[in-house]
Structure 1
């Protein structure tokens, strides 16, 4: 391969390694926020994380489609990319567990609130002792089982 191809491959690998590290750092911070039961802190960085994730998805798809594009990169650069990817996958797994835990807690809160509201309404009855229809509770509650 030419020297230019090697330089381009090395630059591309370093760029993908940097992108992977930034995405890993962002997911780590979000995971910490979820684990600290402060999802509102994670929400502040959500748009940036999504942008990084989209860029990572595009770059990794291009590399997967054309592995020769980085074949000329030095072994040390490719090894750094592999290590960054392994760290990313570990953090991604941790992040998924934290998000799932937050989802379960949120759904539990919604169920509890819905049950409390339904319990306070009492049981509906169509007619009272006088034979007249009783006034019902005009409030409505919707409960969706998905968060």
Structure 2
């Protein structure tokens, strides 16, 4: 999928619209993570993924051939630069929110695993000298990496 632009000015306007919409979506996702409601971010995932892929494709095309936007009005190109800067700021915010959520989730998983281990009965086994050793049984924990 690519932007079908008539000329450089049209391409810049479409890139601005794309960048601003992607910024809105990612800001909404970051807010959901900050409010500890990641399930709210999931509803935006399909559109965000589609637009992010289009943005990646189009930005690569423009980097490879700057003539695609060179003849656009300076004011429009300046708006695109501002939209891109806002997008970068929202990406950084989302990264911080996701990292915080990951840290909390990992902490919860560790606490649960520690509690499960503490609640398990201790096994009584015979050691090399024939004496009974009381030690924890080996346990396995399966984690869902999609969580």
TM-score by length of 2: 0.82
3-state secondary structure, aligned to 1:125: strand
Number of corresponding residues = 135
- Cα RMSD, aligned residues only: 2.6
Task: Report runs of 4+ in structure 1 exceeding 6 Å deviation.
Answer: 136-139
Judge conservation of contact 2:8–2:69 (CA < 8 Å) in 1: yes
Q: Structure 1 residues 138 and 107, CA, compared in 2 at 3 Å: closer, same or farther?
A: closer
Cross-structure match for 1:47? 46
3-state secondary structure, aligned to 1:14: helix
Cross-structure match for 1:77? 76
Q: More helix by proportion, 1 or 2? A: 1
**What is the CA–CA distance in structure 2 between the aligned matches of 1:90 and 1:24, rounded to whole Å?**
9
TM-score by length of 1: 0.82
Displacement of 1:48:
1.3
3-state secondary structure, aligned to 1:37: coil
Structure 1, gaps ≥5 residues long: 1-6
Cross-structure match for 1:61? 60
Cross-structure match for 2:16? 17
Structure 2, gaps ≥5 residues long: 1-5
Cross-structure match for 1:3? none
Judge conservation of contact 2:122–2:137 (CA < 8 Å) in 1: no
* Structure with more relative contact order (C-alpha pairs < 8 Å, separation 6 or more): 1
Answer yes or no: is 1:90 the counterpart of 2:72.
Answer: no
